[in-house]
Amino acid sequence: MTAAVHVERAPPEDVFSLLGNELRVDILEALAETPDEPVSFSTLRERVGEHDSGKFNYHLGKLVGQFVRHTDDGYELTLAGAQLVGALFSGTYTADAELDPVEVDDPCPSCGESPLVAEYEDEYAHTYCPSCGEWENRFSFPPGALDQYDVDDLPATFDRWMRSTFQRVVSGFCPVCAGRMDGELFAPDDRDEPARARFECARCGDAAYASAGTPLLFHPGMLGFYYDHGVDATATPTWRVTAAQDDYSVDLVTEDPLRVRVEVEVDGDTATAVVDENATVASFERSDR
């Protein structure tokens, strides 16, 4: 007997109509105060500050099922409820933020001539070299997270967010809707490189683009290679990881299917990988002196 997956989906308009009341949002935020502990009816009503028990019970009942789970121990957020509150906290629906250009303490790893610059506008973080333009990363970042960090820490914070997002993408999970993301290599028309990587969600259509060598950043062999040379690539900003490389090259292996060879040299040792047409690491080897 073959196991089957059953997924029931409620109409989006019905789901979002449940949130058209301030008291219901207050209930969700109150439940988020103790995410690991179910809350009794009386405690929850006290947290929210609603004196009308009947009114409170009515609006709480509307949330049960989709955003709130009711058990013998009390009330708690469902996954959808927790994600909704998280989106409110992150500022996805409620915040608008900007960051004037901030200089990074490190020089551009491509040209070494000037410090990198980080800025934030229209919900996108942008890190780039103002001199050569070779180093550039632009990606979405939740506006509500900016005030959680000191300004001087934001460039590295942006980089950590980008790396964690791409780790999900390379692993096949859409950062927008959690749908399945498939990768592929493609030959760019306007860049001096044999291939780039594209990851696209089969459900919502969101897409992410990166260099062909990006999947290698999350390969255990490559992480070990960097670590053996004094670089923790899981905690070091990507511009410093790049600066630690003595040489980096991407060369065409085959055109159909499109495959490339990525070679990284550090302190005379070399790591070589083949990235296949699905933007996955097909092989990896290292050659130490």
State in words which class domain 214-287 has.
alpha beta
Exposure of 40 by Cβ count < 10 A (0-12 exposed, 13-18 middle, 19+ buried)? Answer: exposed
Mean pLDDT across 78-100: 79
pTM of the model: 0.79
Exposure of 52 by Cβ count < 10 A (0-12 exposed, 13-18 middle, 19+ buried)? Answer: exposed
* Contact in structure between 269 and 191 (CB atoms under 8 Å): no
Closest CA to 77 of 28, 25, 43: 28
- 3 state DSSP class of 270: strand
For residue range 103-134, what is the model confidence (pLDDT) as tens digits? 999 999 999 889 999 999 988 999 999 999 88
For residue range 207-241, what is the model confidence (pLDDT) as tens digits? 999 999 999 999 999 999 999 999 999 999 999 99
- Apex 168 CA angle, 119 and 91, nearest 5: 45
* Contact in structure between 195 and 252 (CB atoms under 8 Å): yes
For residue range 64-87, what is the model confidence (pLDDT) as tens digits? 988 999 999 999 999 888 888 887
What is residue 289's predicted lDDT score, i.e. its pLDDT? 76
What is residue 89's predicted lDDT score, i.e. its pLDDT? 78
Residue range 12-90 in CATH 1.10.10.10: yes
